Amino acid sequence: MASTFVNNNIPCNAGSIKGFNNSQRNLGFCSNFGFNFTKTRVSDFGNSVRKFPSSLVVKASEKRENLTEQKTGLSIEECEAAVVAGNAPSAPPVPSTPKAPSGTPSISPLSLGRRPRRNRRSAAFRSAFQETQLSPANLVYPLFIHEGEEDTPIGAMPGCYRLGWRHGLIEEVAKARDVGVNSIVLFPKVPDALKSPTGNEAYNENGLVPRTIRMLKDKFPDLVIYTDVALDPYSSDGHDGIVREDGVIMNDETVHQLCKQAVAQARAGADVVSPSDMMDGRVGAIRAALDAEGFSHVSIMSYTAKYASSFYGPFREALDSNPRFGDKKTYQMNPANYREALIETQEDESEGADILLVKPGLPYLDIIRLLRDNSALPIAAYQVSGEYSMIKAGGVLKMIDEEKVMLESLLCLRRAGADIILTYFALQAARCLCGEKR
């Protein structure tokens, strides 16, 4: 069936969105940030029209009687001859210049060779020249899982839950896929009884994360699954590595454990393993371990520039993974440092990382741009729990427009150079981008 797309003179840069379920039977069009649309589809059988929540209108035909003048029946030659003879047909008059408000000073126009506002004067112009695009495909959805069957809310992260790995998780993934988010990253809440100083549960092949990966791949074979490679959810000390009796985080011994964890996750079906521990040399060791076990196809997203940030608090509540003592400043980066991120970038690239990640996101836009300008690898940004919770709190208190600030913050991460964004807003943002009513 031939269709004509009409959008009421509002520009639409629409892209196909994978993952819509068959019951919706929509066409898979979504709007860019900043525009809301409605879409309508004409049935293949008859002239009935089905409406979906958005502003993009899809019609099989468009009546034009009220848009054009009545045809005279003259040939092209006759029309040309009339114009040559000075009998050009009438057209609407030139619009009058709008009047300025009373009291506006009368001045001579500024002599400007360039006026950038000319390219911003209408929605059509702004859309045509928009440099940065945001779509659900750019989003990775972090999901918290636990052994229980009920979903439990996370107090410091409104709208986020510890999801039951067999029930709530499946429903949340299905919702995300319906609006084009097909990448997730898993974070487990591990029972205290399974935690130990060496974090051995991290590489239990029947542990929570490997079990969950296998189940998700069984139900959604094309789902892209990222995993977290670090010991803190499994450590009785709450640190990302093995802690010596004097409080020192042991580097090489921790890397040994991380390699076993990454291989266990790859064996379960993970697409991307993501070392977030910040141990030296772990990317190269994990790459070698994966290749040796036949997992050369599994990617590594390295937390290249992970800072010892105060923005992680709500996340640690979600996983109950606060350090039992001290802090993480001996292995995570100093927030005051900029050039040090280049050292980490060079090391991770040389060791075989496939994706480089900056964490946190919005407060570290300069670091995202630094990595973008100095590496050809894809760059990821993590909009962390503290960023999420602040936007949520501001929205609840009516201090900001939550939806607009959410979308703007994600667009800024993209503008700074992030190819993908790990964000707890993934589902909410994708629904907005697709014009779905909340």
Q: Is 63 among the residues known to form the active site?
A: no
Please pick, among 359, 392, 398, 404, the residue that the annotation labels catalytic: 359
Residue 354 burial (CB count, 10 A): 17
CB proximity list for 144: less than 8 A, separation 6 or greater: 154, 160, 161, 162, 163, 187, 188, 189, 318, 319
For residues 15 and 56, is the Cβ–Cβ distance under 8 A? no
Question: Across 310-416, where does the E strand assignment appear?
Answer: 355-359, 379-383
Residue 75 burial (CB count, 10 A): 9
Q: Is 306 among the residues known to form the active site?
A: yes
| Owner of token pair 């900001």 | 400
For residues 58 and 37, is the Cβ–Cβ distance under 8 A? no
Alpha carbon distance 361, 138 (integer Å): 14
Alpha carbon distance 35, 12 (integer Å): 8
Alpha carbon distance 312, 45 (integer Å): 54
For residues 275 and 303, is the Cβ–Cβ distance under 8 A? yes
CB proximity list for 92: less than 8 A, separation 6 or greater: none
Please pick, among 39, 306, 328, 392, the residue that the annotation labels catalytic: 306
Q: Which residues are catalytic?
A: 306, 359
